[in-house]
Amino acid sequence: MTKRTDHRPPPEPRDPNRRRALTNVGGVIGTEGDQADAGRLARALAVPPATDADDEPARSHVHGFHTYPARMHPVTAARLVSAFVPPFGRVLDPFCGSGTVLVEALIAGRSAIGTDLNPLAVRLAACKTRPRTAAELVHLAERAADCATHADDRRKAKAGASRRFPREDVELFEPHVLLELDSIRAKIETLQDDPARADLELVLSAVLVKLSRKPGDTSSGTGPRRTAAGFAAKLFVQKTRDLCDRLAALGKLLPTPTQTVTVVQDDATELKHLPTGPTGTAAAVKPGIAGDRPRDSIAAIITSPPYAATYDYLAHHALRLRWLGLDAAPLARGEIGSRTAYSRLKPAAARAEWARELERFFRAAARVLAPGGPLVLMMADSAVGDVAIRADEVVSEVGRLCGLLPAARASQPRPHFHGPTAAAFRTRPRFEHALLLRKA
């Protein structure tokens, strides 16, 4: 890639009272490579800074239902899907997280496959991408009210817990809140084959941190909290109604006929469980030829892998995984980029390990992607100690080894808030990159 260009999004009127999304702060976007593709990547990055919460696209319809660290911005996902997935093509997101790319693919009239090692992510993405009828949403709200009534009745009767709580939960919740949550969970479990059960478990997941002593999802400590009796049950009902409203709003955005989304638990470095084509493997086809596409082909991959040494997804979701009874073992074995794991390595060793992990993913991606098909990555630079790991450089090096040729790049500066590694970006800022590779 040799052509370099700077793109600056048009300025917006400044309002000092508006809330800003930290992941979309504006600024000059540098590009490299094929001019047309680089322009598409730059447009995907050029998301205007957030206004107020009511207008924030990142919180619109189902995107705002459940927190999830490091989500791709929905506007970015929508622009990438429109730019790189042909109208009759299927997009794969191997690190689907809470399903942002999959939801935007549905809205754009594309079919999609999402995979993730995190069972909570799989549940969330499947919930967000399954269209509901009005009757199903009414039923969901009614079952939530039943759960709240059950919790209120037990609270007023001063009933004890339905099970023994682990030490972690005793420390995280006020005693009366823990009992209310336990009653809600116990009622959900009685629903058995009721289709509302899976959604209600995710509603419970969505309110756990808010009702705990944790200040936030990615915070490790706890602080004092005073929660009124009965508030947990009220919040649970409110959150369920909110989910119903969001699902209804999404339904109005979907084209007819609505495309399908499949979400499976899978390791992105292996991709063994994708829906299969006629030959028993994920079919590959030439992009741009609508009439020749097998139903299960992968026309494009759009994803945001975990950034090296930045997050600990297993630790962030441990509370929710425990309360929903989800098996965390696959994520524990296969999580890549973990901050905790990388913090034990010297910078050179960390960069080499990140290259090895990316190589495993790239080889799996190259196996299922159509010849000439695009692999689009949203990745940010990271750091170990005082040494930066430049995502665009590592991706370019590893991609060539795997038959995925760098075609274009767009990069925009991003703030870095991790104090122990701040020195890594003193002379050159941290960037978020939209990176395009194409299968040779």
Contacts of 377 (CB under 8 A, 6+ apart): 303, 304, 305, 395, 433, 434, 435, 437
The 10s digit of each residue's pLDDT in 93-133 is: 999 999 999 999 999 999 999 999 999 999 999 999 999 99
Phi and psi at residue 416, to the nearest 5°: -125, 120
Instruction: State the average pLDDT for the chain.
Output: 89
Instruction: Name the pLDDT band for 281 (thresholds 50, 70, 90).
Output: very low
What is the DSSP secondary structure assignment for residue 419, as one 8-state letter? G
Residue 2: per-residue pLDDT: 53
Residue 58: per-residue pLDDT: 72
Residue 217 has pLDDT above 90, yes or no: no
* Residues 378 and 303 sit within 8 Å (Cβ to Cβ): yes
CATH of range 30-128+257-281+298-439; options 3.40.630.90, 3.30.70.20, 3.30.980.10, 3.40.50.150: 3.40.50.150
Report, as an integer, the average pLDDT of 403-431.
93
Smallest CA-to-CA distance from 74 within 39, 118, 120, 108 is with: 108
Q: What percent of the chain has pLDDT over 90?
A: 76
Lowest mean pLDDT among 180-189, 333-342, 363-372: 333-342
Q: Element (H or E) spanning 125, and its range?
A: helix 119-128
Residue 359 tokens, joined: 């190589």
Residue 18: per-residue pLDDT: 37
What are the sequence ranges of the domains in the chain? Answer: 30-128+257-281+298-439, 134-251
Residue 78 tokens, joined: 């929508």
| pTM for the whole structure | 0.89
